[in-house]
């Protein structure tokens, strides 16, 4: 793109000494200086010869009389050869100067010859360069033509010249145009002809423009857009030129070759802010905005972490995830698109900033990463379970009782579920025991002859035995913690466990003692029922106040339905990574207006490669290449 490649710099250097009048003048002035110096050298040579002869005769005489010895120890030493005399030094300096200027002149002449200008291109060394200008645009300009131009597989640079205009002169010019158009239309009517509809259309457009100018709703800019195509041969340049003009014609943009003056056109494409060919047009603010490919400001937060490179301009995207209105993040993408890898990269880079990451890991994908950093893995299996009765930090007993009621609703048959009785038993249990457990709860249910006692027994002694009945408390000690649920094979097991773990983490972040990012992989599993959805919504809504962010990682955004309120979870995140999407998801994103995406972005989403994402932060969008460093590969790809 507008990148300053090595070649480009090379052109620039050549241009600085190019075959412009400036260079020619310089060569002439050098020629003048050189000939003056040569004359001076000649004059000096003649003068010096006379002086040399005179002094040497004097010395010869002195020597023959024995007044001077050739023996250095005898006093004055005069060598026998010709003397090197001071006036010769001056001459030598002039000669040196002549030599320097001559080589400078030679270099200039050589450079002048390195650029050859033809009608439709220039040749710089071995490279053929052709400059086109944007001559026409569609009536309604969207971002897509410019994206198309950026993604053409051609070796091209794009240059913009944008200059503001004064409102007053624009208004005057528009009014003049309006009276011409109206006079033309009236003339037709006078002659008994029908109204010219094209004229009417133009009159209405000019009227709108005048209105916008009067009310200061629009500004106008003089804009030129040039493309500089490069090729190795003339055939190639013709071919590239054809591709450029035809492809852009498809999106109603006309690109023409600037003929007779390619050198000036070339100069106008260089980053020296000189538009020598002035192939410009007058555009409104909105049209100028759409003509610029820079959809986003650059992401360069000083306290940020590296997320990847912008695919548009290659710049690094460094973002402080805690700087936006909230630190919640969505990571969406089809299976294998790179969601978990993206999350792992964020975790490892947050760690460098001293931010704690807590991961709910249904598939055991994060354990290698956590081990690599010496973090803490809490595994859920019959042998190392979780005491569901442990009250999470900063959580009231009542609130935990309500969490437990939701948890038990997964295991108690609906016909046997008695909310009031369950509540009563749990309240009693916490009153009587400092540290309740599943076993004590089962005993309490038994004594109360609760209808759901058999369901609790299954939980305690059946295939799930051990998972929720561990009596040890969980202690979070590390800056990177993973709750590994991979040994809970079915969703029936995973979902209630995910819910309990999330509620534990929810309590943990209540402590507000540090910044934390909570990663929930396969987060759609938390959308199991009304209660879990309500919990999840509350978690994301309140995270910011508790110095935390929630990262929802999932395949299908459409799982977050509007009807049950889950869509709020998506819209509660200021940051989203949208990786490759299925067409059904795109339909949902468009229909439900989940993210405000342009037509071009919607078209691009299904074609993204692994690790490519549309990154959205507040209102900024950028296409991102997410990649691990070599040192990160071993733990992000496992
Ligand atoms: N940024 C990346 N750069 C290079 N390769 C990547 C990148 N992201 C993912 N991959 C490759 O793709 C594979 C799948 O990635 P990942 O596990 O992140 O997919 P996923 O979207 O989480 O899939 P699933 O929905 O099945 O969990 C990785 O093992 C890795 O080989
Ligand atoms: Mg994954």
Q: How much distance in Å is there from the Cα of 570 to the middle of ligand 1?
A: 22
Report DSSP state, residue 353.
Answer: T
Query: What is the residue with the minimal CA distance to atom 7 of ligand 1?
Result: 611
C-alpha distances in angstroms, 224 versus 32, 277, 285?
Answer: 41, 9, 14
Q: With a cut of 60, say whether residue 565 has pLDDT above it.
A: yes
> What is the position in ligand 1's atom list of the atom closest to the CA of 579?
21
Q: How much distance in Å is there from the Cα of 317 to the middle of ligand 1?
A: 20
Label residue 15 left, alpha or beta by phi (over 0 means left) and psi (-120 to 50 means alpha). alpha
Query: What is the residue with the minimal CA distance to atom 23 of ligand 1?
Result: 336
Average pLDDT over residues 442-453: 96
Q: How far does the chain reach from its first CA to its final CA, in angstroms?
A: 36
Q: Compute the distance between CA of residue 616 and CA of residue 521 in angstroms, rounded to an integer.
A: 19
Query: What is the residue with the minimal CA distance to atom 18 of ligand 1?
Result: 338
Q: How much distance in Å is there from the Cα of 337 to the middle of ligand 1?
A: 5
Q: With a cut of 50, say whether residue 73 has pLDDT above it.
A: no
CATH 2.40.160.10 fits 389-472, yes or no: no
Triad 530, 535, 540: Cα angle to 5°: 125
Q: Exposed, middle or buried by CB within 10 Å (0-12, 13-18, 19+), for 32?
A: exposed
Q: What is the pLDDT of residues 96-135, one digit of tens each?
A: 888 888 787 777 666 666 788 899 999 987 899 999 999 9
**3-class SS string, 80-137:** CCCCCCHHHHHHHHHHHHHHHHHHHHHHHHHHHHHEEECCCCEEECCEEEEEEEEEEC
Q: How much distance in Å is there from the Cα of 373 to the middle of ligand 1?
A: 20
Q: What is the pLDDT of residues 484-525, one digit of tens each?
A: 999 988 888 899 999 999 999 999 898 888 999 999 999 999
Name which of 9, 26, 20 is nearest 272 in CA terms. 9
Report DSSP state, residue 546.
Answer: G
Q: How much distance in Å is there from the Cα of 521 to the middle of ligand 2?
A: 7
pLDDT of residue 327: 96
For the chain, what percentages of helix, strand and coil (3-state, to nearest 5) are there? Answer: 50, 15, 35
Q: Compute the distance between CA of residue 328 and CA of residue 575 in angstroms, rounded to an integer.
A: 6
pLDDT of residue 152: 86
Query: What is the residue with the minimal CA distance to atom 10 of ligand 1?
Result: 338
More confident residue, 471 or 340: 340
Enter the tokens of residue 347: 């975790």
Q: What is the pLDDT of residues 143-195, one digit of tens each?
A: 567 878 887 889 999 999 999 888 888 888 889 999 999 999 999 999 999 99
Q: With a cut of 80, say whether residue 201 has pLDDT above it.
A: yes
Which ligand has the minimum distance to the alpha carbon of residue 556? Answer: 1
Which ligand has the minimum distance to the alpha carbon of residue 637? Answer: 1
- Superfamily name and number for 309-386+474-636: P-loop containing nucleotide triphosphate hydrolases (3.40.50.300)
Query: What is the residue with the minimal CA distance to atom 31 of ligand 1?
Result: 637
Which ligand has the minimum distance to the alpha carbon of residue 332? Answer: 1
Q: Give the phi and the psi of residue 229 in degrees, each rounded to 5.
A: -95, 140
pLDDT of residue 606: 93
Q: With a cut of 60, say whether residue 198 has pLDDT above it.
A: yes
Cβ atoms 124, 114 nearer than 8 A: yes
**3-class SS string, 400-447:** HHHHHHHHHHCCCCHHHCCHHHHHHHHHHHHHHCCCCCHHHHHHHHHH
Cβ atoms 369, 637 nearer than 8 A: no
Enter the tokens of residue 70: 């050739």
Q: With a cut of 70, say whether residue 469 has pLDDT above it.
A: yes
Enter the tokens of residue 485: 């649920």
Report DSSP state, residue 503.
Answer: H
pTM of the predicted structure, to 2 decimals: 0.62
- Please choose from 330, 340, 364 the residue to mutate so as to test ligand 1's pocket, defined by most ligand atoms within 8 A of CB: 340
- List, in order, residues 6 or more apart from 326 with CB less than 8 Å away: 540, 543, 544, 549, 572, 573, 574
Taking the CA atoms of residue 149, residue 153, residue 154 and residue 159 in that order, the dihedral angle to the nearest 10 degrees is 30
Q: How much distance in Å is there from the Cα of 553 to the middle of ligand 1?
A: 13
Confidence grade of residue 1 (pLDDT, cut at 50, 70, 90): very low
- List, in order, residues 6 or more apart from 473 with CB less than 8 Å away: 387, 390
Q: How much distance in Å is there from the Cα of 333 to the middle of ligand 1?
A: 10
Confidence grade of residue 5 (pLDDT, cut at 50, 70, 90): very low
Q: Exposed, middle or buried by CB within 10 Å (0-12, 13-18, 19+), for 530?
A: exposed
Query: What is the residue with the minimal CA distance to atom 24 of ligand 1?
Result: 335
> What is the position in ligand 1's atom list of the atom closest to the CA of 611?
1
Q: Which residues line ligand 1 (CB under 6 A)?
A: 333, 335-341, 555, 610-611, 626-627, 637
Query: What is the residue with the minimal CA distance to atom 16 of ligand 1?
Result: 338
More confident residue, 567 or 600: 567
Query: What is the residue with the minimal CA distance to atom 20 of ligand 1?
Result: 336
Q: How much distance in Å is there from the Cα of 610 to the middle of ligand 1?
A: 7
Q: How much distance in Å is there from the Cα of 493 to the middle of ligand 2?
A: 19
pLDDT of residue 78: 47
Q: Which has the minimum average pLDDT: 128-137, 262-271, 379-388, 572-581?
A: 379-388
Q: Which has the minimum average pLDDT: 107-116, 387-396, 556-565?
A: 107-116
Q: Compute the distance between CA of residue 66 and CA of residue 49 in angstroms, rounded to an integer.
A: 26
pLDDT of residue 227: 96
Q: Compute the distance between CA of residue 133 and CA of residue 278 in angstroms, rounded to an integer.
A: 10
3-state secondary structure of 252: coil
How does the average pLDDT of the chain come out, rounded?
A: 86
pLDDT of residue 27: 72
Which ligand has the minimum distance to the alpha carbon of residue 361? Answer: 2
172-208 in b/e form (b: 16+ CB < 10 A) is: eebeebbeebeeebeeeeeeeeeeeeeeeebbeebee
> What is the position in ligand 1's atom list of the atom closest to the CA of 363?
27
pLDDT of residue 441: 96
DSSP H helices in 191-338: 197-214, 234-250, 262-268, 285-291
For residue 131, list its beta bridge partners.
228
Q: Compute the distance between CA of residue 333 and CA of residue 323 in angstroms, rounded to an integer.
A: 25
Which ligand has the minimum distance to the alpha carbon of residue 333? Answer: 1
> What is the position in ligand 1's atom list of the atom closest to the CA of 625?
1
Alpha-carbon dihedral sign for residues 166, 219, 221, 201: negative
pLDDT of residue 72: 42
**3-class SS string, 129-191:** EEEEEEEECCCCCCCHHHHHHHCCCCCEEEEEEEEECCHHHHHHHHHHHHHHHHHHHHHHHHC
- Please choose from 338, 577, 611 the residue to mutate so as to test ligand 1's pocket, defined by most ligand atoms within 8 A of CB: 338
Q: With a cut of 80, say whether residue 85 has pLDDT above it.
A: no
Q: How much distance in Å is there from the Cα of 586 to the middle of ligand 1?
A: 20
Which ligand has the minimum distance to the alpha carbon of residue 338? Answer: 1
Q: Give the phi and the psi of residue 13 in degrees, each rounded to 5.
A: -60, -40
Q: Give the phi and the psi of residue 57 in degrees, each rounded to 5.
A: -60, -45
Q: What is the pLDDT of residues 280-320, one digit of tens each?
A: 998 888 788 888 876 555 788 889 999 999 887 677 899 99
pLDDT of residue 474: 83
Element (H, E) at 9: helix 6-16
Radius of gyration of the chain (CA): 40
């Amino acid at each position: 793109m507008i990148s300053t490649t090595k070649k480009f710099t090379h052109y620039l250097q050549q241009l600085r000494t190019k075959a412009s009048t400036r260079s020619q003048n310089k060569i002439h002035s050098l020629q003048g200086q050189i000939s003056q110096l040569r004359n001076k050298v000649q004059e000096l040579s003649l003068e010096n010869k006379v002086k040399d002869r005179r002094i040497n005769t004097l010395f010869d005489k002195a020597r023959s009389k024995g007044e001077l010895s050739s023996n250095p120890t005898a006093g004055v030493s005069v060598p026998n050869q010709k003397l090197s005399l001071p006036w010769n030094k001056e001459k030598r300096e002039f000669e040196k100067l002549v030599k320097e200027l001559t080589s400078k002149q030679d270099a200039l002449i050589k450079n002048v010859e390195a650029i050859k200008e033809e009608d439709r291109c220039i040749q710089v060394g071995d490279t053929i360069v052709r400059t086109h200008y944007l001559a026409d645009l569609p009536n309604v300009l969207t971002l897509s033509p410019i994206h198309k131009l950026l993604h053409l597989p051609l070796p091209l640079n794009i240059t913009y010249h944008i200059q503001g205009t004064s409102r007053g002169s624009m208004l005057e010019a528009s009014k003049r145009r309006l009276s011409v158009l109206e006079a033309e239309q009236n003339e037709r009517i006078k002659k008994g002809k029908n109204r010219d509809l094209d004229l009417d259309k133009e009159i209405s457009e000019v009227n709108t423009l005048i209105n916008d100018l009067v009310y200061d709703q629009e500004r106008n800019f003089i804009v030129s857009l040039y493309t500089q195509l490069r090729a190795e041969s003339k055939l190639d340049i013709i071919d590239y030129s054809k591709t450029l003009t035809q492809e852009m014609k498809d999106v109603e943009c006309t690109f023409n070759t600037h003929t007779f003056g390619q050198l000036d056109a070339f100069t106008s494409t260089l980053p020296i802010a000189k538009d020598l060919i002035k192939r410009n047009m007058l555009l409104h603010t909105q049209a100028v905005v759409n003509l610029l490919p820079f959809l986003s400001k650059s992401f360069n937060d000083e306290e940020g972490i590296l997320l990847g490179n912008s695919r548009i301009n290659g710049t690094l995207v460094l973002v402080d995830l805690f700087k936006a209105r909230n630190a919640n993040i969505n990571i969406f993408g089809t299976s294998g698109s790179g969601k978990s890898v993206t999350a792992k990269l964020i975790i490892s880079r947050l760690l460098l900033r001293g931010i704690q990451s807590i991961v709910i890991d249904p598939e055991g994908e994060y354990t290698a990463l956590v081990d690599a950093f010496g973090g803490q893995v809490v595994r859920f299996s019959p042998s190392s379970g979780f005491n569901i009765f442990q009250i999470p930090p900063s959580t009231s007993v009542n609130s935990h009782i309500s969490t437990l009621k939701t948890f038990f609703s997964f295991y108690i048959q609906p016909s046997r579920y008695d909310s009031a009785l369950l509540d009563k038993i749990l309240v009693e249990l916490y009153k009587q025991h400092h540290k309740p457990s599943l076993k004590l709860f089962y005993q309490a249910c038994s004594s109360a002859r609760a209808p759901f006692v058999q369901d609790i027994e299954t939980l305690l002694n059946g295939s799930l035995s051990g998972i929720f009945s561990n009596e040890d408390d969980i202690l979070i000690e590390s800056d990177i913690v993973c709750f590994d649920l991979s040994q809970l094979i079915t969703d029936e097991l995973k979902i209630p466990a995910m819910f309990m773990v999330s509620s534990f983490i929810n309590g943990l972040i209540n402590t507000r003692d540090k910044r934390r990012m909570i990663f929930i992989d396969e987060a759609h599993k938390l959308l199991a029922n009304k209660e879990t959805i309500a919990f999840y919504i509350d978690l994301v809504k309140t995270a910011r106040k508790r110095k935390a962010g929630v990262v929802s990682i999932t395949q299908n955004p459409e799982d977050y339905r509007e009807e049950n309120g889950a869509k709020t979870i998506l819209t509660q995140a200021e940051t989203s990574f949208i990786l490759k999407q299925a067409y059904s998801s795109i339909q949902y994103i468009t229909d439900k207006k989940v993210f405000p995406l342009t037509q071009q972005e919607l078209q691009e989403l299904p074609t993204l490669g692994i690790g490519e994402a549309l990154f959205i932060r507040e209102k900024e969008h950028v296409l991102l290449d997410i990649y691990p460093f070599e040192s990160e590969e071993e733990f992000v790809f496992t």
